[in-house]
Amino acid sequence: MVNELECKNIPNLVRDKKTLKELSKKGFIERNRIMQDLARKRMLCKIKRNR
């Protein structure tokens, strides 16, 4: 489960250009995996907030 700190941090992670640059170095598949992970966490955070 995600905690509140992670929830607050997700938008920063997505917006962080350096992370995206690092991800593009790692390659397409790896970047996809990480972006999907972030998206999943974001969904969990939304669900958690709505409860």
Place of tokens 């640059």: 21
Residue 41 inside a domain? The answer is no
Tell me, what's the pLDDT at 2?
Answer: 63
Residue 3 contacts residue 46 (beta carbons within 8 Å): no
Domain count, the chain: 1
Residue 11 inside a domain? The answer is yes
* CB under 8 A, 24+ apart: contacts of 14-20: 14/38
Residue 20 inside a domain? The answer is yes
Q: Which domain holds residue 2?
A: 1-25
**Two structure tokens written together for 2:** 């995600």
Residue 2 contacts residue 41 (beta carbons within 8 Å): yes
Residue 16 inside a domain? The answer is yes
Tens of each residue's pLDDT in the chain, 51 residues: 567 777 777 777 767 767 767 767 778 788 788 888 888 888 888 887 777
Residue 50 inside a domain? The answer is no
The SS3 assignment for 51 reads coil
**Confidence (pTM):** 0.57
Residue 14 inside a domain? The answer is yes
